[in-house]
Amino acid sequence: MKSVLRIAVALIFIASGFVKAVDVVGFSFKLEEYFSPTVFNMPFFESIALPIAILVVALELVLGFLLLLKIRLRFSLAALIALCIFFAFLTFYSAYFNKVTDCGCFGDAIKFTPWQSFFKDIILLLGLIVLWLLYRNSFGLLQPKRPAKYIVFSVLVITMGLITIHGIVHEPLIDFRDYKIGTDLKEEKIKIEKNPSEYKTFYSLKNQKTSEVFEVNQDEYVNDKKYWEEGSPWKIEDGKTSSKIVKEGYSSEIAKFKPETSEGIDLTIEIINAPKAILVFSYDPKNADAQLIRETEYNLLSQKNTYVLGISTDPNTFKTIKNALMDGTAIKTIARSNPFVVVLENGKIVSKMSAKDYLKQ
């Protein structure tokens, strides 16, 4: 029983660490959201979000491997309990105050809301406490050294380290994003348009006579005149009107793909209908390698019968190719490097890589 629980808990931490290790740069973007002024207001951590992301991933993986292989059990359980309490605090805060809509716990592989992640952390925490109680009497017992365990542990750690480095220097080995190679942006846009999410306005009503308070949606409010007819005791409370989703439509990050000129002209149709398009992205042009951007632009000047476009948050980023603007967060869902190149054929992604790798081809 306790071995099954131990292995199950260990595998959850390993899976969580693995999907973040594959795309640790994407995880660092999620941490930047937590450090932003609208959440924890710790902008001084934003510049070191990547090292922090690597540290968190390393902790999850190393501790998960230790628990799985039953190495230094007291330490691994204690450390995982502390880590779980920390994660539970983060997810509870973001859920309660509605600060971050996707916790990033399993990267882009599995989307969890902060509340879902909070309850997941609580369940894991309970599992870890149970394991502590089940194994507490064996912590002090001398266990024979088994070199094979440490060899397996070392191989696992080195392998995950190489996977993490690859994701930082190049592209993730496994792409869990909506913008993976082979994705047809044209088809995705059609799916989004045909199956949109539906929202309704909800009003908080208060009875001026009884002080009773409850919520109704816009249709219920309009169709029942007792709420709005002359002399009605029901009044809409100031500042308590909200818009809520009532039908989940087709969900895709590609809904945010909308490059525009500085005049606000949407270029999406031009891009996805072009026989071939090469897009150069920069989510942070101020901190991008200006020389690398210039070299990438120069390389693209020789492209024939190709729609070439530079997309960033600044209309003056690119000097020799056409500029377009897009939200920085939306660009980060596409580009893990700054700058980054995506090649499309009739709207389908056929290649994507850092600008450095593109120039080495």
What pLDDT is stored for residue 221 in this prediction?
86
Number of domains in the chain: 3
The single residue listed with the structure tokens 């406490």 is 129
* pLDDT tens column, 157-197: 999 999 999 999 998 999 989 999 999 999 999 999 899 88
Q: Which domain covers residue 222, as residue numbers?
A: 198-247
Residue 33 scores a pLDDT above 90: no
Cα(221)–Cα(121) distance, rounded to whole angstroms? 39
**Co-location of 265 and 208 in the same domain:** no
Cα(162)–Cα(307) distance, rounded to whole angstroms? 36
**Co-location of 24 and 144 in the same domain:** yes
**Co-location of 235 and 264 in the same domain:** no
* pLDDT tens column, 235-287: 888 888 888 888 888 888 999 999 999 999 999 999 999 999 999 999 999 99
* pLDDT tens column, 66-101: 999 999 899 999 999 999 998 888 888 878 877 666
Has residue 182 been placed in a domain?
no
pTM to 2 decimals? 0.81
Has residue 338 been placed in a domain?
yes
**Co-location of 27 and 163 in the same domain:** yes
Cα(98)–Cα(104) distance, rounded to whole angstroms? 15
Has residue 139 been placed in a domain?
yes
Please, what is the end-to-end C-alpha distance for the chain in angstroms? 54
**Co-location of 227 and 315 in the same domain:** no
Has residue 183 been placed in a domain?
no
What pLDDT is stored for residue 122 in this prediction?
93
Has residue 187 been placed in a domain?
no
What pLDDT is stored for residue 141 in this prediction?
59
User: Among 121, 150, 169, which residue terminates a domain?
Assistant: 169
Beta strands per DSSP E along 208-326 = 213-217, 234-236, 242-247, 277-282, 307-312, 323-325
The single residue listed with the structure tokens 């996707």 is 102
* pLDDT tens column, 316-335: 999 999 999 999 999 999 99
**Co-location of 242 and 265 in the same domain:** no
Has residue 314 been placed in a domain?
yes
